[in-house]
Chain A
Amino acid sequence: MPTLVSHPDEVKVVSRRFGMGAANIDKYIELDGYKAVQQAIAQGPEMSNWIINTMKASGLRGRGGAGFPTGMKWSFVPKQSEKPKYVLVNGDESEPGTCKDHVIFLHDPHAVIEGTMIAGLAIGSKLGFIYLRGEYRYLLKIVEKAVADAYAKGFLGKNIFGSGVDFDVITQTGAGAYEVGEESALMESLEGKRGVPRIKPPFPAVVGLYGGPTVINNAETIANAPHILLMGGEDYAKLGTERNGGTRLFGISGHVERPGVYELPMGYSLRKAIYDVAGGIKDGKKLKAVVPGGASCPVLTADEIDVGLDFDQMGKAGTMLGSGGIVVLDETVSIVEFALRTIAFYQHESCGWCIPCREGTDWIKKTMTRVYNGGGTRKDVDNIQYLADNMMGRTFCPLGDAAAMPTLGFVKKFRKEFEDYIDGHKAGTPIITVEQLVGAGH
């Protein structure tokens, strides 16, 4: 069972009910649960506008990684549509370093359900889906129980809270595929197909699930909606920085003393997150590098961590806020090895639909393996960079970029380490052998 952690610098909004037994519907109601949805309904004919305007004012940006403003996303859905509209909650959490939705489903499943209802009311949808990765079976059961309890109370189904509006929620399990975390691939999976991406445009807001207009949001984004409606958009926005409203769950893992999922204000210092919140580097070692927002984000070196954790500041620092999964690497880590393990993951998970990604990940892995194995040439480092450059922006979905970006980061910032490997001087303490890597599930 995931250990709950806390730190005085935390500002708890979405994690407010963690550890309080809120998976129980009565407890959830006692802790202001299902109040936000009723407040929305009380706005009468202005309900949709009121929700969307509040969400826009909150400055909430997508917590899955792309950081798209949520209120704006909801406003893109056409008011009139011949086809039914859908809300889709992306709980296919699988970006390495990311386990925040895990704790939301575990501790506050009703917040996800209530958020789904709110999104539905905002866009005029009658059906929402909550999609969890297949590995999260015990969490799926918690969410299923929560959905059943909400139906039993009459909160879901016909005429919710006397609004005259019907709203249903269906839970869905995946069966193991990183790529399905991408929104269009997730819709394919939910339609019972292989999880390969769709070309965009059209965007899901216009043509999404079953061809209907669809709002698809990360589970954390959705779980924030009830809190935002209750506290007001402006007050939520104030917790964060400009254009980066509110707080965010950060999963700090790797070589820190107190790994865990912490809720910090947007813009919080990355240095403080590592050294204060997570207790500093494990066993008194020195920091070498940080992968700041899940495996797909370009690495930061130890002297680049004086940066605020929001989408814009991280962008300026040449990386991304991503999924909020902060992976901390101490001085013993071999960057070549870490880069190889990262690309091995993307090579394994590339769905094969787009050639630059399918071939690019494979050739980067092969080339990096040769460098790691001691048989590399100087040209290999250039080749790795050339391959990654040629993947960027040339695939249907962001998986190609997600593989190329960290690769470019490692090669550019730690080029000497790659060259030293080629020259026979191996920095760091390698953990895996090439046999382990090639002979395994990758």
Chain B
Amino acid sequence: MSTVANTIFSPETAARFDHLVTIYPLKRSALVPMLLYAQDEIGYVSDAVVAEIAERIGLLELDVRNVLSYYSMLRTKPAGKYNVQVCTNISCMLRGGYEILDHCKAKLGIGHKGVTPDGVFSLEEVECIGACCWAPAIQINYDFHDDLTPEKVDVLFQIYRDGQGKDEK
């Protein structure tokens, strides 16, 4: 039973959040992880997410929004079911990161922060994701895909389209 009446989260996530606010010396330390985990479940940080997290931690919604706007992984609009994040930072750039990005744009018919009409994919150009030695690399949601070529990207997209892609949360 969640400590918040009418929680918008699943029982598992609500229970996780109930626990999360108890483990730190200060409750507020739960804020950043909670926003990210909420986004994982709801798809984005909606107004309702902001309201409930503010209530859970005992902050003003304004405080939550102030933090929310800082972190690049947090979004306030829905993304696709699979958010494709293409790294174009230096190590990836040297090994074809921009070629991968252009290929993704062409293949999905969307640009940076775009979502396909069927809602399956969204695309984002991102800064270094820490896969420099296995470049070029992308993340689809949280899963890393390394050492890519446009052909490998095509195969990956098909796997995800068929619902066979890994989707670690």
- Residue positions of A touching B, CB distance < 8 A: 1-3, 84, 93-99, 101-102, 127, 133-138, 141, 170, 172-178, 189-195, 210, 251-255, 259-261, 291, 295, 325, 327-329, 333, 338, 341-342, 345, 348-349, 351, 431-432, 436, 439-441
Contact = CB atoms under 8 A, between A and B. Distances in A.
Given A98-B128, A175-B36, 11 more contacts: A2-B133, A102-B130, A177-B70, A191-B29, A251-B132, A254-B91, A259-B134, A260-B133, A295-B128, A327-B90, A441-B126
28 contacts: A84-B25, A95-B128, A96-B127, A97-B91, A127-B25, A135-B129, A137-B169, A172-B29, A174-B71, A175-B35, A176-B71, A176-B73, A177-B70, A177-B71, A178-B128, A192-B31, A192-B67, A195-B71, A253-B135, A254-B90, A254-B95, A327-B91, A329-B94, A333-B94, A341-B89, A432-B98, A440-B125, A441-B127
Residue from A173, A176, A177 with most neighbouring chain B CB atoms (10 Å) = A176
Contacts of B89: 96, 295, 341, 345
Interface stretch (B4-12, B139-147, B149-157): B139-147
Contacts of A190: 29, 32
Contacts, number: 172
B32 A173 contact: yes
Given A97-B90, A254-B95, A260-B133, A348 B32 contact: no
A328 B135 CA distance: 13
A341 B90 contact: yes
B88 interface: yes
A90 to B, nearest CB: 13
Contacts of A439: 111-112
Given A175-B36, A191-B26, A341-B90, A349 B130 contact: no
Given A141-B168, A172-B33, A291-B90, A96 B134 contact: no
B98 A431 contact: yes
Nearest to B142: A137
Contact of B127 (A101, A175, A210, A345): A345
Interface string B23-50: 1111011111101100000000000000
A440 B126 CA distance: 9
Nearest to A86: B25
Contacts of B24: 170
Nearest to A170: B23
A259 B135 contact: yes
A2 B134 contact: yes
Contacts of A210: 25-26
B110 interface: no
A3 B134 contact: yes
Nearest to A258: B133
B21 to A, nearest CB: 10
Contacts of A189: 32
B126 A345 contact: no
A18 to B, nearest CB: 13
Residue from B23, B30, B132, B146 with most neighbouring chain A CB atoms (10 Å) = B132
Contacts of A101: 130
Contacts of B90: 96-97, 254, 291, 295, 327, 338, 341-342, 345
B30 A98 contact: no
Given A2-B133, A175-B32, A176-B73, A192 B57 contact: yes
B120 interface: no
Given A341-B89, A341-B93, A135 B130 contact: yes
A274 B143 CA distance: 29
B125 to A, nearest CB: 4
Contact of B88 (A3, A98, A327, A440): A440
B72 interface: yes
Complex A-B, nearest 10 residue pairs according to Cβ-Cβ distance, in ascending order: A176-B73, A192-B31, A192-B28, A175-B71, A176-B72, A137-B142, A253-B91, A253-B132, A194-B70, A96-B128
A153 B94 CA distance: 46
B74 A252 contact: no
A125 B106 CA distance: 53
Interface string B64-103: 0011001111100000000000001111011100100100
A101 B126 CA distance: 19
A96 to B, nearest CB: 4
B168 A94 contact: no
